[in-house]
């Protein structure tokens, strides 16, 4: 599990951004290394979701006004949900994704576009 922060970093989260970028590149490197053994490695990059850490990731209090600012950066206009992330994981684990390896799947409502 990585984050959109590993692709499109936000100010004030340098170490979080960097750690998520490391997960992305490690996943790609493992995909190359383990591919000959038919082991697929992918990661998921969710956008911010409604969790107990939302205020910390926003870098400010979670108020309706501040939330609107963040939602304005997500073209589909909402935060991620656990179901969004679960759906992505289920897809990557399914037979439909048997030829997919080394990707960082952004589950972000278009934020990284």
pLDDT in tens, 6-15: 999 988 889 9
Assigned domain for 88 exists? yes
Strand partners, 96: none
Distance CA 44, CA 103 (A): 8
Q: What is the mean pLDDT of the chain?
A: 94
pTM of this prediction exceeds 0.85:
yes
Find the CATH number of the domain harbouring 101. Answer: 3.40.50.720
Instruction: Please check whether residue 86 lies inside any domain of the structure.
Output: yes
Active site positions, annotated: 16
The verdict on residue 113 lying in a domain is no
Number of domains forming the structure of the chain: 1
In angstroms, the CA 25 to CA 43 distance is 10
Boundaries of domain holding 8: 4-107
């Amino acid at each position: 599990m990585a984050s959109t922060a590993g692709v499109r970093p936000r100010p004030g989260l340098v170490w979080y951004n960097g750690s998520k970028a490391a997960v992305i590149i490690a996943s790609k490197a493992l995909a190359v290394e383990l591919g000959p053994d038919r082991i697929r490695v992918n990661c998921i990059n969710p956008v911010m979701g409604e969790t107990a850490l939302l205020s910390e990731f926003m870098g400010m209090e979670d108020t309706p006004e501040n939330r609107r600012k963040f939602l304005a950066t997500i073209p589909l206009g909402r935060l991620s949900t656990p179901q969004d992330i679960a759906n992505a994981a289920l897809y990557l684990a399914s037979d439909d994704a048997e030829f997919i390896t080394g990707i960082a799947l952004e589950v972000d409502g278009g934020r990284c576009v």
